[in-house]
Amino acid sequence: MILLFIILFIVRRHLAVCSTRYSTAAQITVQRAIVCVNTDKRQIHCLVKVTGAITSLMFKAPEIYQNLSVKLSDVLDEIGVNETMVMNRRRTFLLRETMDTVKRRVFGNPFIIYYLGSQSEGTTTLGLQSDWDILAPDGTGRILQDWSEWSHRSCNLLMIKDEKTPPGYCLLQQLRSDVPVPDTADGYDNKYWVTDTHGRLLLKNTILHNIFHGISEKDEENLGPARSIQGRPGIYEQDIVYSIQFKSWPKEARTFLSRQGGETWPTEDMIRYIEGSKCFVVGTDSKVSENAGFEWRISTSLAERCLMFSLNITQVKCYVLLKMILKNYINPQFEGVISSFICKTVLLHCIRSKHPSIWKEDNLLNVLSYCLLTLHFCILNANCPHFFIKGNNLMAGKFSYQKKHELIELTLNLVQNISILLYGIQTDDLGLRLQNKLNTIPQYDLLSGALINAMISGTLIFQTAQNESDQHKLILLRITHESLEANIQFLRKLVSDFIVYQREGNDLEKRAYRLLTPLFCTSLGSMIAAYNIQHGNAISPLAYAWFSAGLNSDLASNRLKLASVLYRVRDLEQTLCLLTHIRDKYEIDVVVPTCTCCDYTRISKERFLTVLGRHSEEAKRRVVAFCVRFLPSEINCVPKELQYEMFRSTEEDRVQRLEKDGWMDWAEIDSLPYLYFLQYKTFGQLHRYEEQQHALNSLVWVTENDRNLCHRETALNLLGQCMEQENLTVDALRFYRKSLSIRQRNNAASILICVLLSKLINNN
């Protein structure tokens, strides 16, 4: 022990007289090592190794570290960790959040769903495949911290703690809504509430999952705070975290708001924003809980997002590297022990403790080493304090004594050999790219940085397009079974409100309304046209005006709705002219069908992503084709062959459907097959049979070969009816059966097969 203190004293004295050429990480490590010394022999042995690591760091030639840092920073730029891509990711998810708020506002729901996590922070890469968290506040309750916050006729929940409740967690006691007194268990379902030994009525932390998803009691013990939605190409896995909101910032976290002398980060403005931000609880207990089942974790996610949005690009790169090290070196041996949230917390503590001047790109390797050393000492002490709630130990119950020392050895090895171990990171080919930059190996043929960044941008724009389609669908689902007149009235008011909000909102709101409005303009134009046809009138100028206002939402869908209306009123020349225009603009090897009705959309076209990425959001109008949607009230605008889709579901089928499957009462089809189908029908009406056969062949090709189709079964049903018109009965039956193989229930092919067999029987 005495020898160790002597070694540490000598190293500290040496650092004190040296210039700032030496690693900041080395200096901070010495200070922390002295503090952490205790009588544990294994820990003393470990600290001797730390001293060796410090010495190694001290005598690294600064110019070598600087050169490696610059090259490493360049590699991260290439794989999408640069200021432009970080801001693009953040804007995409904030826009998604705003669009969701728009939808909720339409139906009088004032609560915002928040999109959090690495994707929304911009702290990820393609190779990390980070998910995102959706924080969904429950709008029925509010958490009080004292009785003065109680309000009449509200769901009041009192935050309480006892000696068994660890920091960062709380219990929620149900209060009465008519008078400010505790409620009793009378009339409450013990599935959601429990009475403790003090007679208090407490909420179980599984209540939100049970309410929203009907999860059985036998599954409650396996629940975490989130419901996962599996990812798909371009759309990564999502965790929906249901929460309840505090009325005010939790007292337990308020000590953070009192600034310490000399601190420059977070800034005063950030602290004021955080103090006014919302705070929540989520339904999960701590790893060392004695209140399992009714303990709730305090979530400061919005405050954390504020901090992450304030980071400079070097700090973002440092966090990305920490996650890559976690994925490549720590998780393979200790899966789930050290989380990315712990890495984020370590980074935030490091940023707060060090001067902003060290966070620059030519010092990237030093600050990364500093963060790894800080993580090492957190493991050494088995304590990583939550950034806002210091008493909340994020490592509590995470690992055993044996695993702790294995982790200590591993993190020491990482610190001592970080400049070498970087070469072994396979995520995004970071190691190979770094060696290419340093010319230490033969040059590998890797995707260029320009192409990677274009693909990331393209993916983000595609996600925005999918979200447009999704919000349009979710709003229309609410009016699916309303009358035509009621839908026209609803859409008129909706578009009018959107135009007003677009003028008055902030930049994000203006952009959201600008993207969504054209889709609803087309829906309104189609509804008015359906009303005109129903009453035997010509299509009114007002209908055409609304169609015109919506034409530029994407490449094809809105124009195809107009073409469908023109076909229904037998304006065949205009129909053909519009279809020809669409076909000329539709580049099959670039354009991707975009829909959110099915489970996934494959983005298999590299040119699609690069065109989007290099030409920004305006390119969406040239390479994205939404599905064509007709509500039952628009049936007069739909060819009879497509009308069958509105009657695809039997009563038995409806029982098997999910709530989100309400679109199955519509006629909905991918744009390209519908284009060829309308061409086939129009050419036939004009007796242009050679061109009609060409359109039929194109319909066959796209239905069988386009991997991105969402409504392939509907395209097959239209194709089967075309075959019937060609008197190719066997082929028609083959396509109907193929359609049923894709979707066994809720499929109009069942009706079409019966109709076909009926015709055959009657003819015979």
Q: Are 174 and 182 in contact (CB under 8 A)?
A: yes
Q: Is 20 exposed, middle or buried (0-12, 13-18, 19+ CB in 10 A)?
A: exposed
pLDDT on residue 55: 43
Residue 291: is its pLDDT beyond 70?
A: yes
Determine the length of the chain.
764
22-26, 64-68, 723-727: which is most confident: 723-727
Q: In this predicted model, what pLDDT tens digit does every residue of 417-432 receive, in sequence order?
A: 999 999 999 999 999 9
More confident residue, 36 or 265: 265
pLDDT on residue 187: 74
Residue 236: is its pLDDT beyond 80?
A: no
Q: How far apart are CA 313 and CA 315, in angstroms?
A: 5
Pairing of strands 628-630, 667-669: antiparallel
Q: How many CA atoms lie within 13 A of 754 on its CB side?
A: 7
Tell which residue, 643, 48, 726, has the closest CA to residue 380. Answer: 48
* Confidence label for 723 from pLDDT (cuts 50, 70 and 90): very high
Q: What is the DSSP letter of 122?
A: T
Q: How far apart are CA 595 and CA 169, in angstroms?
A: 41
Q: How far apart are CA 385 and CA 349, in angstroms?
A: 9
**What's the CA angle centered on 559, arms 558 and 560, to 5 degrees?**
90
* Confidence label for 212 from pLDDT (cuts 50, 70 and 90): low
| H or E element at residue 717 | helix 712-725
Q: In this predicted model, what pLDDT tens digit does every residue of 44-99 receive, in sequence order?
A: 445 445 544 544 444 445 678 899 999 999 999 999 999 999 999 999 999 999 99
pLDDT on residue 616: 67
Domains in the chain, CATH or no CATH each:
2-81+311-438 (1.10.1410), 131-307 (no CATH)
* Chain centroid offset of residue 91 CA: 12
Q: How far apart are CA 572 and CA 566, in angstroms?
A: 7
pLDDT on residue 406: 95
130-144, 291-305, 680-694: which is most confident: 680-694
The contacts of residue 151 (CB under 8 Å, 6+ apart) are 142
pTM of the model: 0.87
Average pLDDT over residues 700-710: 92
Residue 245: is its pLDDT beyond 70?
A: yes
In the chain, the amino acid numbered 480 is T
**What's the CA angle centered on 663, arms 658 and 665, to 5 degrees?**
100
pLDDT on residue 615: 62
Tell which residue, 583, 666, 580, 670, has the closest CA to residue 625. Answer: 670
Average pLDDT over residues 470-476: 95
Residue 30: is its pLDDT beyond 50?
A: no
pLDDT on residue 606: 67
Average pLDDT over residues 491-505: 92
Q: In this predicted model, what pLDDT tens digit does every residue of 313-327 receive, in sequence order?
A: 999 999 999 999 999
**Which phi-psi region, left, alpha or beta, contains residue 616 (left: φ > 0; alpha: ψ -120 to 50)?**
left
pLDDT on residue 608: 74
Tell which residue, 349, 331, 332, has the closest CA to residue 340. Answer: 331
| SS3 per-residue string spanning 130-193 | CCEEEEEEEEEEEEECCHHHCCCCCEEEEEECCCCCCCCEEEEEEECCCCCCECCCCCCCCCCE
Q: In this predicted model, what pLDDT tens digit does every residue of 602-650 receive, in sequence order?
A: 665 667 777 777 666 677 788 899 999 999 999 999 999 999 999 999 9
pLDDT on residue 583: 96
Q: How far apart are CA 336 and CA 230, in angstroms?
A: 19
The contacts of residue 616 (CB under 8 Å, 6+ apart) are 457, 461
Average pLDDT over residues 13-35: 42
Residue 215: is its pLDDT beyond 50?
A: no
Give me the phi and psi of 343, to 5 degrees please: -60, -40
Residue 109: is its pLDDT beyond 50?
A: yes
Rg of the chain in Å (alpha carbons): 31
Within 10 A of 483 (CB to CB), how many other CB atoms are there? Answer: 11
The contacts of residue 41 (CB under 8 Å, 6+ apart) are none
Q: What is the mean pLDDT of the chain?
A: 86
**Which phi-psi region, left, alpha or beta, contains residue 536 (left: φ > 0; alpha: ψ -120 to 50)?**
left
* Confidence label for 107 from pLDDT (cuts 50, 70 and 90): confident
More confident residue, 26 or 255: 255
More confident residue, 335 or 187: 335
More confident residue, 211 or 110: 110
Strand-pair partners of 229: 238
Q: In this predicted model, what pLDDT tens digit does every residue of 642-694 receive, in sequence order?
A: 999 999 999 999 988 888 899 999 999 999 999 999 999 999 999 999 999 99
In the chain, the amino acid numbered 680 is Y
Q: Are 438 and 335 in contact (CB under 8 A)?
A: no
* Chain centroid offset of residue 392 CA: 27
Residue-wise burial string across 239-258, b where 16 or more C-beta atoms lie within 10 A, e elsewhere: bbbbbbbbbbbbebbeebee
**What's the CA angle centered on 227, arms 221 and 229, to 5 degrees?**
140
Q: Is 194 exposed, middle or buried (0-12, 13-18, 19+ CB in 10 A)?
A: middle
Tell which residue, 163, 389, 383, 462, has the closest CA to residue 291. Answer: 163
Give me the phi and psi of 443, to 5 degrees please: -65, 125
